[in-house]
Chain A
């Protein structure tokens, strides 16, 4: 294919020839092209089908505001739907497909929708598909979803990587047009730390689209020189291909840098996009302006584009949409496009100007006081019908029509913190209001200053003001300073189907209809018609919609209201927000000191918070997890087992007031705990509910080691710091977490002492007499390694916990296994741990569920009334202490094989099964290989007094009813003889 619409000049690299495919057909392009410019160069005007009516559509713009020219980019897992052809930087081998058409772009079966447009007008969803309700889900929605809509997803995981990053600067300049470049030069030369970000791959903004001079150079040459100077400044960071997507609190900006989208494939390890969080002292918004269309009959035909876009394609990309072009304008800027195209050799069919006093031209015909009344052409524009002031009509033969309705400042980011733009009557457009985001100011066209000179000047002044620069401003280059008068002209009267929002297929008539049907607020208008709610967020349509509504209501535009904008400025892939936090890296993984050894042993792991813990250790031949877990429980209770309990939170509490501090933290007393002893501690929330439990070991008069549950390690530490800093600031107490520093293993079972005696150096006596139940102390192991020993038991067996510095944890586990061989020592995982604690009747996470008090858990007596502790006062509230409150009990099925279900509810043996007769619920359920029965723990009304009672365990959801008996929660060794042995 030859590029039949390629012109002379432009900023493309004609020495490179890139090949690309659109809908399977091959074309060529140059480096510096976008997909849009390359398609136009190859005379492709039809790009896709519209959202609702499946009308043929082409390109409307040359920038990120594009509502129409959307394609599916790339193939396979990398397919990206709804990508604007106007922002896709050309690369060799690019593949794109048109979307929302079937079976083909030129013949789309669903174009039949266009013939039924009367049924698809504003609010058609609400009107048409109301009844019957069941039809919505099964019939209407699937059909609508297939017919309406945009591109399709690949349904495969995104194979690319995305990064997040953080940058800081003094001044963030958003947009690198004349205002942004001049601001960056001003700030950069003054030595300020500047980031200049622009969504385009070529910095320069409109300067790259214009032919006029800036100083002694063409506009684009001046931009290139400015960029070169800025690149040489170490204090200026240029960020092309970077869209600032949002303005957040206190000078934080979100920005998406497309680091890899312009590459045929990503180099290994490189991200496709980076989501930057930019922290800045000041921000200067230089986002420019967007040309607005005029609505007229059949204004959506491929070939009908914004006049400024035609100029961009001609001047920057050396492309014309057609060899014969007409212009429809209400302002002088439209004439500029005609002049530029004419100079490039494009035939100008005519300039249609709605103004009677429009300027004339020697080069082409100007139809003054004229309006475009209709257009013709099957898959693209062929003719334009014009009505002249004398009532006569003309038909213009042209393949493209440039439309210019004036310019709207890009105020989007000024609205991100509730800021409302204000109506500027002189330019008939919204400009930034007074309540801007903190630290933001606005310069150039974004602030309603539409001339190049004005943009340069306001950029320089804006930077100087933002940074409090005192010196003289840099000399500004000479540039055009034409006044731009904008007299509003929104749509041609009498049109039947004139598009306002081309992406969501909203017409002038839809806007009027919605008003007639009572939707008087702009927000309602948007939601009823879906105007401005597509992926372009109405960048080319919102103001026009508002203007039409104002006209129908007989009000001024500011009276009708404004519409404000939310982040992101342009669509952002979800993957960009995820960054590296996906798959296994979704959150950090914490490994225990015995992890690598456990892996060698073939352990099955379970996630506990961020930790990976061994759940059980299957032996060869064990095919069901229960076999492994039952064996681990039996062997531990029969001889000895070892479990990694490093994950329990450990907090070092030191200071002369350490004991007094623990007295406040825990419901039970710690002041009198002897050095060398450990005590179980119950921690309440201030509302009297149990927060956490654990142990505190008194290593010295002024030194405790506190343990927390694995799940609450972080929140308990935070709570303790709150109590220390906010409640008792004059207590001499210091806290630090030591969770990671020590590898801590539970060694449990009747042979645990014998095993430990082989590890602990002989000078330490750990006999029952010298080191009784709840003792603690410092010891050495394996010939001198410092270690801590605690005689505490979660399993109910004779048990210890031994801790060594984490780096030796792996070696200690191997040593314990080797030395314990004669006792048949086994490692056990969290499942066996859980079984044994239920057998022993210890409350754990399932019972400490945020709704239980100490009394509920059978620990009511632990709450000391003689001291002040967190939660003690509110734990005595009437409702929490009445006789009928839930109490922890054991639950045993009458038939041992009947399964107990956690979450199941308990009902009396007779009577209805409903909430009103609920007696309590099961919190934990396991199979006990010791009792050869399923067992459970539960909370039952007045349960402590009801042991021996028969009940029904029900789960109405699963039709389960099991006959159970309430028993003591201490299934195993209720007297605690084993753990004291």
Chain B
């Protein structure tokens, strides 16, 4: 597979390490009332879509960027690649 890195252009997937669903960016609030349930869902429950899937890839043999890759699980077509940091900020994560 080829991942079109937003900064570096097309790079072989073998340079990357796969983590999983990009929902892992949405880490729950530890002080929320339902924190235990929310963390349980965050830790263990995943959608397994047949089709487009947003997932986290780490450019381990490259620039060490975490990327959010939108990949079709049926065809392997990659329609979008973003820096995870930008995605995280867009989803409201800060510090």
Contacts and interface: CB of A to CB of B under 8 A. Distances in A.
A730 B95 contact: yes
Interface in A839-891: 868, 872-874, 876-877
Nearest to A715: B17
Contacts of B56: 722, 726
Interface in B49-95: 56, 58, 60, 64-66, 76-78, 83-85, 87-89, 93-95
Nearest to A281: B10
30 contacts: A249-B1, A249-B13, A250-B2, A250-B78, A251-B2, A252-B2, A279-B2, A686-B42, A687-B43, A687-B44, A714-B60, A718-B17, A722-B24, A725-B65, A725-B66, A725-B84, A726-B24, A726-B25, A726-B88, A727-B25, A727-B88, A728-B94, A729-B85, A729-B93, A729-B94, A729-B95, A868-B30, A874-B39, A876-B36, A877-B36
B89 A686 contact: no
B1 to A, nearest CB: 4
A657 interface: yes
Contacts of A722: 19, 24, 56, 58, 66
Contact of B95 (A277, A686, A718, A728): A728
Given A249-B1, A873-B28, 8 more contacts: A249-B13, A250-B2, A721-B66, A726-B25, A726-B87, A873-B36, A874-B40, A876-B36
Given A718-B60, A726-B88, A249 B2 contact: yes
Given A250-B2, A872-B30, A873-B30, A726 B66 contact: yes
Contacts, number: 86
A731 interface: yes
Interface string A241-256: 0000000111110000
Contacts of B17: 718
Nearest to A877: B36
A729 B30 contact: no
Interface string B8-35: 0010110001010000110110110001
A251 B13 CA distance: 12
B85 A725 contact: yes
A687 B45 CA distance: 12
A648 B39 CA distance: 31
A868 B28 CA distance: 11
A601 B87 CA distance: 54
A635 to B, nearest CB: 41
A660 interface: yes
Given A279-B2, A876-B36, A686 B43 contact: yes
B64 A721 contact: yes
Contacts of B13: 249
A751 to B, nearest CB: 42
Interface in A231-280: 248-252, 277, 279
A438 B40 CA distance: 39
A610 B27 CA distance: 34
Interface residues of A, number: 29
Given A718-B17, A718-B60, A686 B88 contact: no
B43 A728 contact: no
Q: Which 5 A-B pairs have the closest CB atoms?
A: A250-B2, A730-B94, A868-B30, A730-B95, A873-B39
A341 to B, nearest CB: 49
A873 B30 CA distance: 7
B58 A660 contact: no
A249 B66 CA distance: 22
A786 B31 CA distance: 45
Interface string A728-759: 11110000000000000000000000000000
A657 to B, nearest CB: 7
A252 B14 CA distance: 12
Contacts of A438: 77
Contacts of A251: 2
A726 B84 contact: yes
Contacts of B66: 721-722, 725-726
A686 B39 contact: yes
Nearest to B77: A438
B90 to A, nearest CB: 10
B10 to A, nearest CB: 8
B12 A279 contact: yes
Contacts of B40: 874, 877
Contacts of A252: 1-2, 12
A872 B36 CA distance: 10
B76 A249 contact: yes
A731 B88 CA distance: 12
Nearest to A732: B95
A252 B15 CA distance: 14
Contacts of B84: 725-726
A131 B17 CA distance: 48
B59 to A, nearest CB: 10
B1 A873 contact: no
B35 A873 contact: yes
Contacts of B60: 714, 718
A438 B2 CA distance: 12
Contacts of A727: 25, 27, 88, 93
Contacts of A873: 28, 30, 35-36, 39
Contact of A721 (B58, B76, B89): B58
Contacts of B85: 725-726, 729
B16 to A, nearest CB: 11
A231 to B, nearest CB: 29
Contacts of A687: 43-44
Nearest to A251: B2
Contacts of B43: 686-687, 874
B2 A718 contact: no
Given A252-B2, A718-B60, A729 B89 contact: yes
A876 B88 CA distance: 27
B95 A657 contact: yes
A79 to B, nearest CB: 33
A400 B19 CA distance: 61
A921 to B, nearest CB: 26
Contacts of B58: 718, 721-722
A660 B95 CA distance: 9
Contacts of B76: 249-250
Nearest to A168: B10
Contacts of B78: 250
Contacts of B64: 721
Contacts of B31: 868
Contacts of A725: 65-66, 83-85, 88
A553 to B, nearest CB: 31
A858 B60 CA distance: 34
A714 B17 CA distance: 11
A252 B10 CA distance: 12
